[in-house]
Amino acid sequence: MTPSLPMSMMPTRRSVLLSLGAGITAMALPRGSWAQGTDAVLKFGLSTFPPTVKPFDNTGGAANTVKLMIYRGLMGYDASGKLLPELAESYEWLEPTVAVFKLRANATFHNGKPVTAADVIFSLNEITKEGSTAFLKSDLAIITAVEAVDDKTVKITLSSPSAIFMDLMASYCCPIISAESTDGNDIGAGPFVMKSSEKGVYIELERYGAYYDEGGPNFGGIRFIAYADENLRFAALEAGDVDLIEYLPWTQFDAVEASDTMQMKSTLGPYMFLLFNVTEGPFADAKVRQAVGYAIERQDVVDAAFAGRGVPLYGLPNPQGSPFDLSNPAHEWTYDIEKAKALLAEAGYPNGFDCRLLATATYGMHQDTASVVQAYLAMIGINATLDLPDWGTRVTAGKEGKYDLAVHGTSGIYNDPDSLWSLLYSGNPSYLQSFGFKSARIDGLLEQGRTEVDTEKRKAVYQDLAAAYFEEVPQVPLNWRVQAYAMKKSVTGFEALPGFLNGSSAYALDETQLG
- pLDDT grade for 439, boundaries at 50, 70 and 90: very high
Domain presence at residue 468:
yes
Residue 62 confidence (pLDDT): 93
Partners of 148 in the β-ladder? 154
Domain boundary among 161, 190, 219: 190
Answer whether residue 211 shows pLDDT above 70: yes
User: Which position has the higher pLDDT, 213 or 308?
Assistant: 308
186, 284: one domain:
no
Q: Mean pLDDT, to the nearest integer, of 28-53?
A: 74
Q: What is the pLDDT of residue 29?
A: 46
**Which burial class, exposed, middle or buried, applies to 454 when counting CB atoms under 10 A from its CB (0-12, 13-18, 19+)?**
exposed
| Listed residues 190, 225, 247: the one ending a domain | 190
In sequence order, the 6+-apart residues with CB closer than 8 A to the CB of 456 are none
236 domain residue, yes or no: no
Classify residue 198: in a domain, yes or no: no
Q: How many domains, in total, are found in the chain? A: 2
Same domain, yes or no: 355 and 472:
yes
Least confident of 9-23, 33-47, 177-191, 465-479: 9-23
**pLDDT at residue 382 tops 90:** yes
Mean pLDDT of the chain: 91
Is 327 in the same domain as 439?
A: yes
- Model confidence at 14, pLDDT cuts 50, 70, 90, reads very low
Residue 331 shares a structural domain with residue 426? yes
Q: What is the mean pLDDT of residues 3-27?
A: 34
CA-based nearest residue to 25, from 83, 136, 102: 102
Q: Decide if pLDDT at 164 tops 50.
A: yes
Residue 206 included in any domain = no
Q: What are the two backbone dihedrals, phi and then psi, of residue 97, each rounded to the nearest 5 degrees?
A: -120, 10
| Confidence category of residue 430, pLDDT binned at 50, 70, 90 | confident
Do 281 and 169 sit in the same domain of this protein? no
Cβ pair 445, 468 in contact under 8 A: yes
> What residues contact 148, with CB distance under 8 A and at least 6 apart?
116, 117, 118, 121, 154, 155
- The CATH number for 91's domain is 3.90.76.10
384 compared with 410, residue with greater pLDDT: 384
* CATH assignment of the domain containing 277: 3.10.105.10
Percent of the chain with pLDDT over 70: 93
Tens-place pLDDT, residues 62-72? 999 999 999 99
Mean per-residue pLDDT, 209-214: 90
Strand 192-198 versus strand 202-207 pairing type: antiparallel
pLDDT value at 171 more than 80:
yes
Are residues 183 and 281 located together in one domain of the fold?
no
Cα angle 84, 85, 90; round to 5: 125
Q: Between these two residues, 138 and 127, which has the higher pLDDT value? A: 127
Relative to beta strand 244-245, strand 88-95 is unpaired
Residues 276 and 394 in one domain: yes
| Structural domain of 409 | 270-481
Let me know whether 280 and 173 are in one domain: no
Local confidence band at 80 (pLDDT 50, 70, 90 cut-offs): confident
Is residue 2 predicted with pLDDT exceeding 90? no
Same domain, 168 and 293: no
Cα–Cα distance, 354 to 352 (Å, whole number): 7
pLDDT at 184: 84
Residues 185 and 298 in one domain: no
131 located within any domain? yes
Q: Answer whether residue 18 shows pLDDT above 60.
A: no
Residue 13 has pLDDT above 90, yes or no: no
Q: Give 284-300 pLDDT, tens digit per residue.
A: 999 999 999 999 999 99
- Is the residue at 296 inside a domain? yes
The two beta strands, 75-77 and 83-85, are antiparallel
pLDDT at residue 441, rounded to an integer = 98
Res. 407: pLDDT tops 70: yes
Q: Are strands 353-358 and 405-410 parallel, antiparallel or unpaired?
A: parallel
Q: Considering the entire predicted model, what is its pTM?
A: 0.81
* Mean pLDDT of all residues in 44-51: 94
> Of 452, 504, 454, whose CA–CA distance to 142 is shortest?
452
284 with 401, same domain: the answer is: yes
| Mean pLDDT on 457-472 | 98
Give the per-residue pLDDT at 217. 87
Residue 106 domain flag: yes
Asked if residues 276 and 285 have their Cβ atoms less than 8 Å apart, the reply is: no
Residue 217 lies in a domain: no
162 and 278 co-located in one domain: no
Residues of the chain above pLDDT 90, percent: 84
Give the end of a domain, one of 190, 214, 237: 190
**pLDDT at position 27, please?**
53
Mean predicted confidence (pLDDT) in 475-488: 97
Strands (E), 262-420: 262-276, 310-312, 353-358, 382-387, 405-410
Output the DSSP codes for 400-412: HT--SEEEEEE--
pLDDT digit string, tens, across residues 333-379: 999 999 999 999 999 999 999 999 999 998 889 999 999 999 999 99
